Amino acid sequence: MPDVAAVLRQEITRLARKEDRTQIAPLRNAQTELRKRLAALQSEVAELARTVKRLEKQAASGRDAGAAPAQTTPQRYSPGWVAADRKRLGLSAEDYGRLVGVTGQTIYSWETGASRPRAEKLAAWAAVRGIGKREARRRLEQLDSPE
């Protein structure tokens, strides 16, 4: 015959472990969520530290820290695009060059591929590239009128 005290002790131990598991399960879930939040906060702090380091580097080099960072992807350019845009607007190379801020000869050189625009002129060309015929005429009239 089994020892009643031993059986009773085993049953009490089993029930105590079961009760412990039911009370610990929510704590484990909360611990998992807290670890996830901690990891997210750590990555955010690391990103902010990189930003601070970049801004300190800009300030040390004398650049304006409040300015937007330089364009990460270079502006795409093709000689055919210059010619197609000029023809779409119905402008001469001279007039198109005035819109961009260069000479007509420079526009011709860009169209033939003999030269390539520098970064600042490439940005100016990109700004003119999306305008329509009416806007182009209006801008040319503004350039012609003495102010």
Which range marks the domain in which residue 32 is found? 1-70
Please tell me the total count of domains within the chain. 2
Same structural domain, 8 and 65: yes
Helical H runs in 62-132? 79-89, 93-100, 104-112, 119-129
pLDDT-based confidence at 129, cuts 50/70/90?
A: confident
Q: Which DSSP symbol is given to 130?
A: T
| 91 and 134 within one domain | yes
| 125 and 84 within one domain | yes
Q: What is the pLDDT of residue 65?
A: 45
Q: What is the pLDDT of residues 28-62, one digit of tens each?
A: 999 999 999 999 999 999 999 999 999 998 888 87
Other Cβ atoms within 10 Å of 33 Cβ, number: 10
CATH of the domain at 91: 1.10.260.40
Q: Which of 70, 88, 120 is a domain's end point?
A: 70
66 and 100 fall within a common domain: no
- Percentage of the chain beyond pLDDT 70 is 90
- pLDDT over 80 at 22, yes or no: yes
Give the global pTM: 0.49
d(CA 102, CA 82): 13
Average pLDDT over residues 123-129: 88
